[in-house]
Structure 1
Amino acid sequence: MAYWFWIFFFYSWAGCLLERAYAHRTSGEAHPVRRCMLLLPLCPVYGLSMTALLTLPPSMRQGLWLPVAGAAAATFMEYFYHLLCQRLFGVRFWDYSGVPCNVEGRVCIPFSLAWGGLSALAVWIIQPPLEALIARVPPALTLTALLIFTADAVCSARLLAVTHSVSALRGGA
C-alpha cells in the first residue's frame, strides 16, 4: 500500500512541476492558473494516470505497447478525473475545446500522444530509481505524508465544493 501511495504522490508532484513549466513556457506566466486540485503542489491526475499504467499487465508495459498503454491510461484517467471534478465540484481544471480532436474539452489527441511519450520515459528512466527510493522510505514518513495528504484533500474538496472555483485554491475567489 505504501508503494502505491508514493507512486501516486511522486507523479502527482512531478505532474505539478510539468504543468507549471508548460504554462510558463506557453504563456510566459510566472504563476500560471492553478490546474491542480490540492493545496499541496500536486496534480492528482498525473498520479492516478501513472498508477493506472503501472497496474496494467507487464506485457502491456513493454516495448511499443508502453507508449500506447501510457496514452490510453492517461487519457482514460484525464477524462474521468475531469468529469468527476466537474460533477462533484462544478470546476474545470483544463479545457481542450480549442485543441483539434478533443472530446468535450476533457481530452484531446495531441495531449494523449504526449502522455504516451511521457509515460514511456517515466517507466524506462524514472521508475527504477524511484522504486529503489520508495523501498527505503520509513513507515512513519509514509504515515505522516498520508495524513497531510488526506487533510489537504479533504480541505481542498470542501473549498471547491463551496466556491466552485479553481482560483480559490490559490487564495482567490
Structure 2
Amino acid sequence: MAWFWYFLFYSFLGFLVEVVYVRLRREPKRDRKCRLLLPVCPVYGLGALAILLLPETVREQPLLLFPAAALACTGVEYGAGLFYQRVFRVSFWDYSHLPMNLGGRVCPLFSLFWGGLAVVTLWVIHPWVTLLVSAIPPWALPPVLLLWGADTLLTALVLRRTGDTNALRWYLPPARRRTA
C-alpha cells in the first residue's frame, strides 16, 4: 500500500506547491485544493506515481528523467484536466492564455516545470517520503481510505451540482467565495 501513501503525500505536497505559486504571483484565488475537505491536488499525486513508474534506467539519469517526466506529467495533467471537465464539469486550471497550449489543459512552459519538479522530487524529496511511508502503521490505511473515499464522493456531488470549483471553498463567506 505504499503507492497509496505516495499518492496521498504528493497530492498534499502539490497543494502546498499551488499555494506557494499563487501567493508568489499574488493571484486572488489563494488556495487551490481540489477536494471539499482534504487539502490535496490529486493531479500531483498521479504525476508522482507516473514518474515513479518510469523505468529505473530513466529515473537514474537526469538527462533522461527530465524529458520523460515532463512528458509523463503532461500526459497526466491533460488526462486529469479532461476528466475534471467531462465528469465534474469544472476546470481547475486553464493555460489558454499561454502559447502552444492544448485545449487550455497543458502547455510547454508547464511541461518544463514538471520536468524540473520531477528531478527534484525523485532525487531530493522521494528518499525522505519513502522513509516516512515506511513508518506509517498498517492500521492507518482503512480510516484514511474511508476519509479519501468520502471526500471524493462529496467533492463529486458538489462539483456536479454547482459546476464551480469555488464551491469547494466552503470555509469562506459566500461573497468571497464568488469573487476569488
- TM-score normalised according to structure 1 size: 0.93
Q: Is the 8 A contact 1:45 1:78 kept in 2?
A: yes
Which residue in the other structure is 1:48 paired with? 46
User: What root-mean-square deviation, in Å, do the aligned CA atoms of Structure 1 and Structure 2 show?
Assistant: 1.5
1:144-163 alignment to 2 at 5 Å? 144-163=143-162
Q: 1:79-107 deviations in whole A, cap 9, x for unaligned? A: 01000110011101110011112111100
8 Å Cα contact 1:95-1:106 kept in structure 2? yes
Is the CA contact 1:38–1:169 (under 8 Å) kept in the aligned structure 2?
yes
The reply to whether residue 23 of structure 1 matches residue 26 of structure 2 is: no
Range that drifts further, 112-121 or 67-76: 67-76
Q: Distance in 2 between matches of 1:87 and 1:67?
A: 30
Query: What amino acid sits opposite 2:2 in the alignment?
Result: Y
- Alpha-carbon separation, structure 1, partners of 2:37 and 2:21: 19
Unmatched segments (≥5 aa) in structure 2: 171-176
CA positional deviation for 1:37: 3.8
Shift of 1:39: 2.6
Q: In the alignment, residue 62 of structure 1 is paired with which amino acid?
A: E
| 2:33–2:40 CA contact under 8 A, matched in 1 | no
Q: Residue in 1 aligned with 2:90?
A: 91
Tell me, yes or no, if the aligned pair for 1:34 and 1:167 is still in contact at 8 Å.
Answer: no
Cα distance per residue 1:35-73 (max 9 Å; x no partner): 524431000000000111111211121211111121111
Please give the alpha-carbon distance, in whole angstroms, between the structure 2 residues aligned to 1:118 and 1:78. Answer: 14
Structure 1 pair 33–126 and aligned structure 2 pair: CA distance change class (3 A): closer
Give a deviation string over 1:101-121, Cα, whole Å, max 9, x none. Answer: 211110000110010000110
Answer yes or no: is the 8 Å Cα contact 2:48–2:118 preserved in 1. Answer: yes
Rounded to whole Å, the distance in 2 between the matches of 1:126 and 1:146 is 24
Q: Does 1:167 align with 2:143?
A: no
Q: Would you say the 8 A contact 2:15–2:32 is kept in 1? A: no
> What is the TM-score with the length of structure 2 in the denominator?
0.90
Q: Percent identity?
A: 44
The question of whether the paired residues in 2 share the 8 Å contact of 1:79 and 1:107 is answered with yes
Map Cα deviations across residues 120-160 of structure 1 (whole Å, 9 max, x no partner). Answer: 10000011111112112101112221111111111101111
Amino acid at match of 1:47: G
Query: What is the CA distance between 1:33 and its match in structure 2?
Result: 5.2
